[in-house]
Amino acid sequence: MYVDEEVTRYFPAAQIDEIPDDLTMPRHIFQATGEQRRKGYEKCVIATEIWNAADSDEGRRAALDAYLAQDDTDLSRNARLVLEGFLGGPLNRLPPSEIQYAMHQLGLADKNNGVLSDTEKESLDRNGYVDLGPLLNADQLKKMRDRYDAAIEQEGASPENAATRGIGRVVDTVVKPMNRDGLLDPIFMQPRLLAAVRHVLGVHLKYIGSNYHCALPGYGHQGIHADFLWGVKGEPQVVNAVWLIDEFTQDNGATRIVPGSHRSGIHPNGDLVNGEPRDLNAPVEGEIKVTGSAGSCVVYNAHLWHGGTQNCTHKLRRAQHAFFSRSHRPASTDVAAVIDKTLYKRLGRVARAVLDIE
């Protein structure tokens, strides 16, 4: 079978030597046992119960202490270790006034700022996601594809990036040397993107991570998940955005989502199907695939149930993710530690505020 050179360049990073003959045969990279699902379920249910016992971190801390006083088991202590990372106090580097200044400069200080339409806001609220349409032009996309492909060859096979078989991946893209010229700045600074993040999280937001993710032919399926460790009722804590560097189609590994699932307060790991912990690789009732043209940006409340699907075409399916949270929450990336010094020097006050760095 002929394989385009564009695809073979990704083989070392994706930890494969060839493309499967049958691109449609399911390849579930992570297949949990029944026991593993049960343990994950129990841990998630404990964390969900404690988090949703109050609407403030002070109240959640009290609920955690009360729970541990009654159930001091390995499972509950494990849940404590995870929760304490979120309940140990504010983790923003900058004073709140800095992101307030940035939101004002971007025209996003007022929640009724008009950058998003009412229909777009309603989609975020009701469905948990919004397709902002094409925000990158053909020239930007060509340069980004070239930049990502080069990065995959240079560093895609490194331990920090080569995490999943069949996937080309580069972490922390927007704060690495590959973004010294600002080509990737729209990934975390595009005004309509930030308007959507602001609509979900409010003014006090920050960037907490980014990664380039490319599903190779025959790969890309993910278990259904949410980008938080437990179920959340009330105020959402995180927002994710996926930039379609290539077109997303029904066949090439488009993201599957379950519209409205962000409002359930249930995490997929903490859900039961017929009395058993959910098989995360299985289809979910009501799921749909998010398709769209290259250059589009899809923003979603990251408590929304979602996951990648298998790329059943002979071409790459490139995407870039940008992750945001409330300012006082922990970040998946220590931006101050990893940001390229040359890149840092060209950033202005507004971008630094969004990145939460001095």
Write out pLDDT tens, residues 153-195.
Answer: 999 999 999 989 999 999 999 999 999 999 999 999 999 999 9
Q: What is the layout of strands, in order, in the sheet containing 129-134?
A: 129-134, 296-301, 238-244, 317-326, 205-215, 167-171
pLDDT tens for 298-327 read 999 999 999 999 999 999 999 999 999 999
Tell me the C-alpha distance between 230 and 216, whole Å.
Answer: 30
pLDDT for residue 26: 92
Tell me the C-alpha distance between 322 and 189, whole Å.
Answer: 10
Give 2's pLDDT tier (boundaries 50, 70, 90).
confident
Supply the DSSP string of 251-298, one letter for each residue. Answer: TBTPEEE-TTGGGS---GGG-EETTEE--TTS--TT-EEE-B-TTEEE
Q: The tokens 């927007």 sit on which residue?
A: 174
Domains, the chain: 5-31+90-355 (2.60.120.620)
DSSP 8-class letter at 174: G
Give 18's pLDDT tier (boundaries 50, 70, 90).
very high
pLDDT tens for 255-268 read 999 999 999 999 99
DSSP 8-class letter at 166: T
Give 1's pLDDT tier (boundaries 50, 70, 90).
low
CB under 8 Å to 218, separation ≥6 — which residues?
A: 19, 20, 22, 23, 25, 27, 166, 310, 311, 312
Tell me the C-alpha distance between 93 and 90, whole Å.
Answer: 9
pTM, to two decimals = 0.96
Tell me the C-alpha distance between 236 and 234, whole Å.
Answer: 6
pLDDT reading at 81 higher than 90? no
High-pLDDT (> 70) share of the chain, %: 100
Tell me the C-alpha distance between 218 and 165, whole Å.
Answer: 11
Tell me the C-alpha distance between 352 and 356, whole Å.
Answer: 6
Distances 193 to 128, 196, 296, 324 between C-alpha atoms, Å: 14, 5, 11, 11
pLDDT tens for 184-197 read 999 999 999 999 99
The average pLDDT across 287-301 equals 98
pLDDT for residue 77: 78
